[in-house]
Amino acid sequence: MIERKFWDEENETLPIQKLQKLQNERLQNAIDWAYKKTKFYRALFDQAEVKPQDISSIEDLSKIPFTTDIEVATDIPLKDRLAIPEEKIKMYHSTSGTVGSVVPIPFSEKDMETFFKDGEARSRWTMGVRPWDTIQILTRFDCCLLGYKKLGASIVLLSAGRYSTDHQIRLTKESGVTVIEHMPSLLLHYFERMEQIGIDIKDTELRMVSGVGEGWAESYKKKIEGKYGIPFMTLYGAVETVPFAAAECEARKGMHINADVGILEVVDPKTGKLLPEGEEGELVVTMFEREAMPLIRYRVGDVGSILPYEICSCGRTMPKMSYVKGRVSQIVNIRGKNILPIDVEEVIAGFEDLENEFRIICSKQEMEVLKLRIEHKSEVKQLKVLKEKVEEMFFNNLGINTELDLVPKGKLERVTFKAQRIEKLY
């Protein structure tokens, strides 16, 4: 049997000119739909004195104002954003609620089809998941579970194991799980626990990890892959913007954007100015296929870049984006340089004597020196020497001065989210 290589060959291998044509057509339809059907976008366009006919291609997008955080826009009622009658809503998702309140995101029947087919399933196929895989999702995202189901894979239900880590670990082994999906920082605790209760990953069927929800430092990822002997693939998607997503392919150099369902722009988070390919900034997404709740120029709040265009060795023609580095809200300014927790992780991964737990201590908005508290391995004796080496590495790699406080392993509370790695004192 010849293995089917792509999930959606026609769209994933479209010549770039055809893809751009398709994007422009779909963009016009999406703008038209949002303007005609929602009070929110009509008011937004009218205020900016933009008519749907002014937008005929991606180049025109910057005429439209950004839409920001749905999470804090509680003053805009859902009905004003809704483009279909309420009875046609077949599913709700929601924003995470980590910032502001939880906002429902409605989906129509058609939205659900593109959500699971073009978003969830295609991205997983790009990463290399196949129908004969058995999937365990530890993030508890049932939308992802449904995507894997659409792909045809076998799934371990979210409630299996009753959310107890040890039970789930036993299920990983006993159910023959081949792919685990989790947030990178939490996954490592899962694997550590596995070792503690005497299960060797090499004795399981596990062949791939799907990392979602936060970025990975490349050097750290390589170190972990070397240790466990399985690829740690990366998927990008925000709850608000599905089915728009991006996924790492076998070439392992960035993630393919599913550019036929939406447009990704990268802007300077401070000025809102559009940035060219290769430059890092805030991600802004416009959705083509959003019947229930259109999303136009939505500032996602994540930091990344669009990679200079080239046809990938995997055969896909879809453009690629960098791995996401973090959230705009996590940017720490050191003498005009933007530093994210992942940059710190990248440096400390190079030291065998350091643990992966650290805190960035922020005393004010712009600092001269990066203040860090990092855990060291218990057996380290020459702390002064280690400190000097780490400081030197920070200066060489990031061009910044650091003030380090090395603390023994176990001193810092284990984080469940990368955002918690920043301690704000102001």
Residues that bind Zn ion (CB under 5 A): 249, 251, 312, 314, 316
Instruction: Please provide residue 41's backbone torsions phi and psi, each rounded to the nearest 5 degrees.
Output: -75, -35
Taking the least distance from each CB to Zn ion, the nearer of 27 and 314 is: 314
Residue 123 CB, shortest distance to Zn ion, in Å, is: 12
* Cα distance between residue 307 and residue 217, in whole Å: 17
Residues 404, 407, 408, 413: what is their CA dihedral angle, to the nearest 10 degrees?
A: -120
| Distance in Å, CB of 318 to Zn ion, minimum | 8
Judged by beta carbon, residue 233 or residue 331, the one nearer Zn ion is 233
Secondary structure letter of residue 203 according to DSSP: G
Please state the closest distance from residue 26 (CB atom) to Zn ion, in A: 22
Q: Which residue's CB is nearer to Zn ion, number 43 or number 251?
A: 251
Could you tell me which of 232, 261, 237 has the C-alpha nearest to residue 247? 237
Q: Minimum CB separation from Zn ion for residue 140, in Å?
A: 29
Say how far residue 98 (Cα) sits from the centre of its chain. 15
**What are 248's two structure tokens?**
């790492």
Least separation in angstroms between CB 24 and Zn ion: 24
> Which residue, 83 or 249, is less far from Zn ion as judged by CB?
249
Give whichever of 194 and 249 is closer to Zn ion, judged by the CB atom: 249
For Zn ion, the closer CB: 15 or 104? 15
Of 242, 238, 190, the C-alpha closest to 213 is: 238
Q: What is the largest CA-CA distance in the chain?
A: 69
Residue 76 CB, shortest distance to Zn ion, in Å, is 38
Residue 119 or 319 having the CB closest to Zn ion: 319
CB of 125 to Zn ion, least distance (A): 12
Q: How far is CA 391 from each of CA 108, 357, 360, 366, 396, rounded to the nearest angstrom?
A: 53, 17, 14, 19, 9
Q: What are phi and psi of 339, to 5 degrees?
A: -120, 135
Instruction: Strands of 273-318 (E only): list them.
Output: 281-287, 298-304
Give the pair of three-digit tokens for residue 333: 């300014």
Q: Name residue, tokens 């908005």.
A: 365
* CB of residue 286 to Zn ion, shortest distance in Å: 23
Q: How many whole angstroms separate alpha carbon 17 and alpha carbon 78?
A: 37
- Cβ(30)–Cβ(266) below 8 Å: no
The minimum distance between CB 256 and Zn ion, in angstroms, equals 6
Q: How far apart are CA 167 and CA 216, in angstroms?
A: 26
Nearer to Zn ion, 261 or 344 (CB): 261
Question: What H or E segment, with its residue span, contains residue 45?
Answer: helix 39-47
Beta-carbon contacts of residue 133 (< 8 Å; ≥ 6 apart): 153, 154, 178, 179, 207, 208
> CB-wise, 207 or 253, nearer to Zn ion?
253
Strands 326-327 and 320-321: unpaired
